[in-house]
Amino acid sequence: MQALKDALRQAEQHGVAIGHFNVSDIVLLKAVFAAAQELKVPVIVGASEGERASMGVRQIAALVKSIRDEFDFPIFLNADHTHSRASAEEAARAGFDSIVFDLSALPFEENVRKTKEAVVALKSIHPSMLVEGEIGDIGSGSEIHETMPDRSRGLTTPEEARQFVKETGVDILAPAVGNMHGMSKSMVQGETKKRLNIERIAAIKKAAAVPLTLHGGSGTDDDDFRRAIAAGINIVHINTELRVAWRRSLEASLAAKPDEVVPYKIFPPVVESIKEVVASRLTLFNNSALVAQEHSAV
Ligand code: G3H
Ligand code: ZN
């Protein structure tokens, strides 16, 4: 079975990004896997500290592993936005493929020092686990916000990126390049989009020379996604868009069958709606590889 490290190397070679989708229940997990399986592309399932608390750390690890083993499919598990060493080590012991060790709220020097220590500790528990570090402010909360702050300033600099990667030894870097967590109401309506600083992504990629993750993907302009991937983004995180689909389709499914009490009769349309969102994002992120797949199938 392919390791995440190999899938990332392939993504870099093909100029595509691996989609990362957060889950907090089995409905979301089924939808993410169904979309990736249909498109035959690798996928990362993310679980933040809150999402892990909801599903259970070892339980989500067991579920993802069972899918990987049964279907021999490149589905990986990431311990998203982990703020403490204790919960990072718990995820490492549970066999997560990667972790976002996120001390981005701390002063830069402290973030460097503590991330460096975490890299050593986590690799001693789980040597093949990839560690992602984060610098810059991309907000928090994959939720609907009243308004979104302007993040075009305070971007990660190429020099910070170079220094952070060199000193900490992280495998992957998450920079601030205009991205932010969550969606405004106007983004949910499709009236406004997040915009990215593509030149800055290219400069950071050159300086850091490691795979880059784009957090806060929900509501981003499609063309900015394409250009960001071409400039060096290798993983894209999407959460809020899935949560919006989860809630809306659950409300619709309940409304369509007011007397239904059987969960497995209520959930299928919910899985289907979330799957559509995941599939459209995976198609965008893997565009060149999917075109090549089509050609080789002809
Ligand atoms: O780590 C999760 C994400 O960065 C998702 O952000 O909710 O804006 O899609 P999003
Ligand atoms: Zn994130």
Query: Which of 69, 80, 150, 259 is flagged as catalytic?
Result: 80
Which comes out higher in pLDDT, residue 148 or 225?
Answer: 225
- Per-residue pLDDT at 186: 95
Average pLDDT on 217-234 reads: 97
Contacts of 189 (CB under 8 A, 6+ apart): none
Ligand 1 centroid – CA 74 distance (Å) = 21
In the residue annotation, 80 being an active-site residue is answered as yes
pLDDT band for position 150 (cuts 50, 70, 90): confident
pLDDT band for position 255 (cuts 50, 70, 90): very high
d(CA 123, CA 18) in angstroms, rounded, equals: 23
Contacts of 141 (CB under 8 A, 6+ apart): 181, 182
Residue of 20, 28, 239, 285 to mutate, ligand 1, most atoms within 8 A of C-beta: 239
pLDDT band for position 165 (cuts 50, 70, 90): very high
- Per-residue pLDDT at 298: 55
What's the pTM? Answer: 0.96
Residue of 100, 177, 181, 214 to mutate, ligand 1, most atoms within 8 A of C-beta: 181
Identify the bridge partners of residue 259 per DSSP, sorted by sequence position. Answer: none
Nearest atom within ligand 1 for CA of residue 81: 1
Ligand 2 centroid – CA 172 distance (Å) = 13
Instruction: Tell me the per-residue pLDDT of 280-291, one tens digit each, with 9 for 90 and over.
Output: 999 999 987 676
Nearest atom within ligand 1 for CA of residue 214: 4
Q: Which two tokens stand for residue 4?
A: 């995440």
Nearest ligand to the C-alpha of residue 102? Answer: 2
Averaged confidence pLDDT in the chain: 96
**CA of 101: how far to CAs of 65, 87, 141, 243, 281, in Å?**
22, 10, 16, 23, 25
Among 12, 74, 43, 16, which residue's Cα sits nearest to residue 210?
12
Among all chains, which residue has been given the structure tokens 């565009």?
Answer: 287
